[in-house]
Amino acid sequence: MFKINENYLKLPGSYLFSTIGKKVAAFTKDNPDKEIIRLGIGDVTQPLAPAIIEALHSAVDDMAHAETFHGYAPDLGYDFLREAIVKNDYEPRGCQITADEVFVSDGAKCDSSNIQEIFSADSKIAVCDPVYPVYVDSNVMAGRTGTYDAKTETWSDVIYMPCTAANDFVPELPKETPDLIYLCYPNNPTGATLTKNQLQEWVDYANKNGSVIIYDAAYEAYISQENVPHSIYECTGARTCAIELRSFSKNAGFTGTRLGFTVIPKELKCGDVSLHALWARRHGTKYNGAPYIVQKAGEAVYSERGKAQLREQVAYYMKNAAVIREGLAEAGYQASGGIDAPYIWMQTPGGMSSWEFFDYLLEKANVVGTPGSGFGPSGEGCFRLTAFGTYENTLAAMERIRKL
């Protein structure tokens, strides 16, 4: 009789956002007259920018004629996109990344969950707490995390690095050496950042201890401060210790269009074996490339018109972030983030748990946020609001919260 991967059964409950979806659906069913405002999941609301729409239409037309039709894409991405990425995201910041170190994919969620596959099954991972659940869950599925303690909501074989108001949401270097360190900056969910000097410490630590940093920079477009790095490759030595994940979801509104990329420098090696070669082999065997039309849309993100339009789009969301930050402050809540990130991280009032506050906000204000405890035990007592709603809804949500 066939057997299943028992590691899946260790996963407690369902994926965070599925649970939220179900709760909201149940509330809506019972309260069909209430108008819900969603500041929960980090999904964008602004349409794709005109330059991107034009590129999509043009690419669709290419697919309509045999002479310009595109079948299987190159496994690792079209050169036109890989080169645009390097020219715009890396060269201007002095990062020595070449086009063939860029692996185009259908998004950072897939990449961040798949990247663990190229590492040993007994790798020890370190994550920030709170953390984007995918990093941990994908390692649970691979059997790397030991046993789950429902009381502390932690895994026995995971190194947790608490990020709380007490340490300004900046984790300490771990005492026990991890093999893989997941870092996400600007951070989801706390909205915190690392300065370049702080990130350099992590790069130095990884090089010294033989760790690999998996650096999720999905929110780099929201950075407003000068001393915050957009890429880990701005740090000296990152080419021998860091993998960087990027997404088009948040800088260009591709949550439903699906495009991302992973950078693996060729110097990143375990003995003689380059991780670049392993990831290339994975892509070649298990992936068939992002759609041509979507890669053309990605190219338009880097056109001059595209860049100008997307700067406006990011500014639109960051205006929302300011509304949320100021609204919460006025209403007497403690909150941080929202300066270099589209997320605002607030402390729940009166000792409420994260899920209690979720239910309270849903029922009393009909506003959906994300319970901090869903991101890890140190997120308990916290709550995430996102700036990805419309301006009007964001204003309305803050008005409702102010009136509570």
Tokens of 102: 């860029």
Residue from 170, 293, 339, 344 touching a copy of itself (CB under 8 A): that is 293
Cβ distance to a copy of itself smaller for residue 246 or 258: 258
**Residue 221 is a binding residue for a copy of itself (CB under 8 A):** no
| Euclidean distance between CA atoms 159 and 203, whole angstroms | 18
Q: Give the residue carrying structure tokens 């609204």.
A: 327
- Of 81, 118, 124, 83, nearest to 243 by C-alpha is 118
**Residue 39 is a binding residue for a copy of itself (CB under 8 A):** no
**Residue 225 is a binding residue for a copy of itself (CB under 8 A):** no
In whole angstroms, the minimum distance from the beta carbon of 94 to a copy of itself comes to: 27
**Residue 51 is a binding residue for a copy of itself (CB under 8 A):** no
Q: 375-398: b or e for each residue (b if 16 or more CB lie within 10 Å)?
A: bbbbbbbbbbbbbbbeeebbbbbb
Q: Which helix (H) or strand (E) holds 385?
A: strand 382-386
Which positions ≥6 away from 150 have C-beta within 8 Å? 12
Residue from 144, 239, 246, 258 touching a copy of itself (CB under 8 A): that is 258
Tokens of 25: 């659906």
Residue from 120, 152, 197, 227 touching a copy of itself (CB under 8 A): that is 120
**Residue 150 is a binding residue for a copy of itself (CB under 8 A):** no
In whole angstroms, the minimum distance from the beta carbon of 167 to a copy of itself comes to: 26
**Residue 25 is a binding residue for a copy of itself (CB under 8 A):** no
220-224: long-range contacts, CB 8 A cutoff, minimum separation 24: 220/186, 220/246, 220/251, 221/250, 221/251, 221/310, 221/314, 222/186, 222/250, 222/314, 222/317, 222/318, 222/340, 222/341, 222/342, 223/186, 223/193, 223/340, 223/341, 224/318, 224/339, 224/340
**Residue 14 is a binding residue for a copy of itself (CB under 8 A):** yes
- The contact mask relative to a copy of itself for 190-219 (x = CB under 8 A, - = no) is --------------------xxx-------
DSSP state of 88: I
* Nearest-5° Cα angle at 128, 266 to 225: 75
**Residue 11 is a binding residue for a copy of itself (CB under 8 A):** yes
Write down how long the chain is. Answer: 404
**Residue 107 is a binding residue for a copy of itself (CB under 8 A):** yes
**Residue 44 is a binding residue for a copy of itself (CB under 8 A):** yes
Cis peptide upstream of residue 133 (ω within 30 degrees of 0): no
| Euclidean distance between CA atoms 16 and 236, whole angstroms | 36
| Euclidean distance between CA atoms 377 and 304, whole angstroms | 43
| Euclidean distance between CA atoms 132 and 109, whole angstroms | 10
Residue from 84, 134, 221, 242 touching a copy of itself (CB under 8 A): that is 134
In whole angstroms, the minimum distance from the beta carbon of 383 to a copy of itself comes to: 21
In whole angstroms, the minimum distance from the beta carbon of 310 to a copy of itself comes to: 14
**Residue 275 is a binding residue for a copy of itself (CB under 8 A):** yes
CB 248 within 8 A of CB 257: yes
Cβ distance to a copy of itself smaller for residue 15 or 315: 15
Size of the site for a copy of itself (CB under 8 A): 82
**Residue 319 is a binding residue for a copy of itself (CB under 8 A):** no
Tokens of 11: 């996963």
- Stretch touching a copy of itself by CB under 8 A, among 64-72, 216-224, 230-238, 340-348: 64-72
In whole angstroms, the minimum distance from the beta carbon of 121 to a copy of itself comes to: 7
In whole angstroms, the minimum distance from the beta carbon of 14 to a copy of itself comes to: 7
**Residue 75 is a binding residue for a copy of itself (CB under 8 A):** yes
| Euclidean distance between CA atoms 404 and 398, whole angstroms | 10
**Residue 122 is a binding residue for a copy of itself (CB under 8 A):** yes
- Stretch touching a copy of itself by CB under 8 A, among 82-90, 134-142, 222-230, 317-325: 134-142
CB 134 within 8 A of CB 112: yes
**Residue 257 is a binding residue for a copy of itself (CB under 8 A):** yes
In whole angstroms, the minimum distance from the beta carbon of 165 to a copy of itself comes to: 29
- Stretch touching a copy of itself by CB under 8 A, among 105-113, 308-316, 317-325, 395-403: 105-113
In whole angstroms, the minimum distance from the beta carbon of 195 to a copy of itself comes to: 26
Cβ distance to a copy of itself smaller for residue 204 or 356: 204
